[in-house]
Amino acid sequence: MWDGCLQGRVKWLFPAQPWMYQQVPASSWELWQQQTSEHQDQFDNLEKHTQWGIDVLEKYIKFVKERTEIELSYAKQLRNLSKKYQPKKNSKEEEEYRYTSTRAFLATLNEMNDYAGQHEVISENMTSLITAELTRYVQELKQERKSHFHDGRKAQQHIETCWKQLEASKRRFERDCKEADRAQQYFEKMDADINVTKADVEKARQQAQLRHQMAEDSKAEYSSTLQKFNSEQHEHYYTHIPNIFQKIQEMEERRIVRIGESMKTFAEVDRQVIPIIGKCLDEITKAAESVDHKNDSQMVIEAFKSGFEPPGDVDFEDFTQPMKRTVSESSLSNSRGDGKSEPKFGSKSKGKLWPFIKKNKIIETLLGTKLMSLLTSPHQPPPPPPASASPSAVPNGPQSPKQQKEPLSHRFNEFMTSKPKIHCFRSLKRGQTQSLYIHKELMKRTLGTPTCAIEAREYVLSLKLINLNTQVWSLIEGAGPEDFSNLPPEQRRKKLQQKVDELNRDIQKEMDSRDALTKMKDVYIKNPQMGDAASVDHRLAELGQNIEKLRLEVQKFEGWLAEVEGRLPARGGGAAAGADGAAAAPERGVRGTEPVRSQQLCPGQREPRWQLHRRAKPGD
């Protein structure tokens, strides 16, 4: 193939008759030079073509590298996208992923992560199977090409050297022939001239013979050089150059085959991950088909179901009838002492409220209830003022008719609406020195002029207010009651059930630990060298106490759960001790004392509906 350009161009070098004894025409030498120049041009064209093939291969390698970079960048962006929309730990989003639609979205994110992984596989396979292999092959190809063209140039230089030797031998033969002709002509001229001496003629004859001998030697050398050149030229054009061209042809064909195989591998790398990508898409479709709108709606209902009964009809208020809107201090005390029953839950009354009450309302109710119980505690009655005090010296004493007629509830309302109330709690929380002055002002408004006994009561009241302030702040910061009474009934039931299940799991863990320690103790008893059996008794006692405490907790929460579910009557006495649900747990957890038995409402104050079932039984 590659030596086809030589066919028909070297036949003129081998004529039918040897031409070593013939004079080669000048046109033949010019033709040889022209043919050699054309061959050199073809050699240069092949060199340019093979270099172009290497450039094409390097361009394809660069293309594959950019493709792998795109795949890596795409995979990285997909992973970042999937990570960006993943639910945060310990956040509200984790609860949102209970629904089928959000779970399907989470499955889509996970599958997109796997989808990104397949693009990373594409990039890795293209890098290892195409880029790395072709880069190594290009280096080998360059070395092979360089070797082949070096051999071609070497052969070309050798034939050119032989040609130069032939040219030099030819010129020398031509020069010697011309010198021999001139010597022969001079001898003939001298021999024909009668005036020339015999010695001169002999000298001319010898010179002519010498020139003819030199011409014969040059002719023999030229003939030998010509034969050698023809042999070298035949070897060059029929052996060396075709072999070099054949090697270059094979090299170029291997390059073409290699780039075709690389393109096939390029497609196969993509085709190999298509089934896995299809599985990812199938999983996304499966997750989308798993979305159940009915189930999600039912979960919303279960999550926000309150269990409250709808409010009753609003009664007609007849303003034509005179109504007593104030309660005297004696009636307030009698109502507390007699222990009258409170209105039932669900009864139709003017004071009934819809039970969705915000936290600030709960805190306000708690604050009012606790302060009322503290100010009107029967265990610490206010001491009478000194007898020597005059009405002018004791403005708030019992001699003052205004102070005698003012109900205690009015004093409480004045305390709740006065500005020192806020500063009192702040000073108690932060330990400021202003608290003593505010306590005295508080006692002046409620119990009269301070005395030594009043100072003692003031100290006790301060301690109670500190405890109350701690409870209020814990409620403000989000700490709910232990029995979840601040929640609607249905949500409270779920929370209590979860708490019972959690406690049962803890009991099971403790029992498993106790069983393991019991077995260990038995092993120690049978094999004293393995350990001391008495060393396990302390831990067994601790586990027994923990199990007993957990069982008591389970009984307590099961009682509250039974109350919510309607299996047991409303709690009374010590079990339902709180004045309201929000105050019961802090009262037990912080103060460690017996909860408040009942609550006295100020005139016009309504009791929240959610609080009605927590009322204490009369006579406790």
CA 169 to CA 515: how far, in whole Å? Answer: 117
Specify whether 120 is located in the same domain as 268: yes
CA 602 to CA 376: how far, in whole Å? Answer: 12
Percent of the chain topping pLDDT 70: 58
| Across 357-377, average pLDDT | 47
Least confident of 132-141, 223-232, 321-330, 505-514: 321-330
In a domain, 139, yes or no: yes
Whether residue 411 is predicted with pLDDT greater than 50 in this model: the reply is no
Specify whether 208 is located in the same domain as 223: yes
In a domain, 601, yes or no: yes
Whether residue 386 is predicted with pLDDT greater than 50 in this model: the reply is no
Specify whether 143 is located in the same domain as 244: yes
Domain of 274: which CATH number?
1.20.1270.60
Least confident of 296-310, 543-557, 568-582: 568-582
Whether residue 555 is predicted with pLDDT greater than 60 in this model: the reply is yes
Whether residue 49 is predicted with pLDDT greater than 90 in this model: the reply is yes
CB atoms within 10 A of CB 587: 22
CA 574 to CA 397: how far, in whole Å? Answer: 38
In a domain, 259, yes or no: yes
Q: Name the domain boundary from 247, 275, 300.
A: 300
Specify the pLDDT at position 468.
Answer: 64
CA 496 to CA 506: how far, in whole Å? Answer: 15
Q: Please, what is the end-to-end C-alpha distance for the chain in angstroms?
A: 119
Q: Name the domain boundary from 248, 279, 300.
A: 300
302-335 pLDDT, tens digit each: 888 877 778 888 888 888 876 555 444 444 444 4
Please name the helix (run of DSSP H) or strand (run of DSSP E) that holds residue 205, with its range, or none.
helix 198-235
CB atoms within 10 A of CB 323: 7
| Confidence category of residue 460, pLDDT binned at 50, 70, 90 | low
CA 462 to CA 451: how far, in whole Å? Answer: 16
Specify the pLDDT at position 584.
Answer: 36
Q: Which is higher by pLDDT, 471 or 214? A: 214
Specify whether 100 is located in the same domain as 228: yes
Distances (CA, A) of 111 to 86, 93, 285, 356: 12, 19, 11, 43
Specify the pLDDT at position 194.
Answer: 81
**Whether 616 contacts 587, CB under 8 Å:** no
In a domain, 107, yes or no: yes
pTM above 0.85, yes or no: no
Whether residue 426 is predicted with pLDDT greater than 50 in this model: the reply is no
Specify the pLDDT at position 54.
Answer: 95
Specify the pLDDT at position 50.
Answer: 93
Specify whether 130 is located in the same domain as 77: yes
**Whether 446 contacts 375, CB under 8 Å:** yes
Distances (CA, A) of 33 to 46, 163, 172, 579: 20, 10, 20, 124
Domain of 504: which CATH number?
1.10.287
Per-residue buried b or exposed e for 490-514, using 16+ beta carbons within 10 Å of the residue's own CB: bbbbbbbeebbeebeebbeebeebb
CA 506 to CA 514: how far, in whole Å? Answer: 12
What backbone phi and psi angles, to 5 degrees, belong to 593?
Answer: -115, 180
Least confident of 79-83, 172-176, 468-472, 473-477: 473-477
Specify the pLDDT at position 431.
Answer: 45
Specify the pLDDT at position 289.
Answer: 94
Q: Which two tokens stand for residue 357?
A: 């009450």
Residue-range definition of the domain harbouring residue 509: 491-565
| Across 387-397, average pLDDT | 39
Distances (CA, A) of 170 to 15, 175, 328, 572: 19, 8, 153, 140
Average pLDDT, the chain: 71
Specify whether 219 is located in the same domain as 365: no
135-144 pLDDT, tens digit each: 999 999 999 9
In sequence order, what are the residues at sequence separation of 6 or more whose Cβ sits closer than 8 angstroms to the Cβ of residue 245? 2, 3, 46
Percent of the chain topping pLDDT 90: 31
Q: Which two tokens stand for residue 102?
A: 């959000």
CB atoms within 10 A of CB 176: 21
Specify whether 271 is located in the same domain as 359: no
| Across 13-35, average pLDDT | 45
Q: Name the domain boundary from 245, 272, 300.
A: 300
In a domain, 182, yes or no: yes
In a domain, 333, yes or no: no
Whether residue 480 is predicted with pLDDT greater than 90 in this model: the reply is no
Specify whether 585 is located in the same domain as 460: yes
How many distinct structural domains can be found in the chain?
Answer: 3
| Confidence category of residue 93, pLDDT binned at 50, 70, 90 | low
Specify whether 473 is located in the same domain as 518: no
In a domain, 205, yes or no: yes
**Whether 436 contacts 395, CB under 8 Å:** no
**Whether 122 contacts 306, CB under 8 Å:** no
Specify whether 558 is located in the same domain as 601: no
| Confidence category of residue 2, pLDDT binned at 50, 70, 90 | very low
CA 126 to CA 272: how far, in whole Å? Answer: 12
In a domain, 37, yes or no: no
- The residue ranges of DSSP E strands in 277-369, in sequence order, are none
Specify whether 132 is located in the same domain as 186: yes
Q: Which is higher by pLDDT, 17 or 493? A: 493
| Across 359-376, average pLDDT | 47
| Across 239-244, average pLDDT | 90
Specify the pLDDT at position 378.
Answer: 42
| Across 496-502, average pLDDT | 91
| Confidence category of residue 466, pLDDT binned at 50, 70, 90 | low
Specify whether 107 is located in the same domain as 213: yes
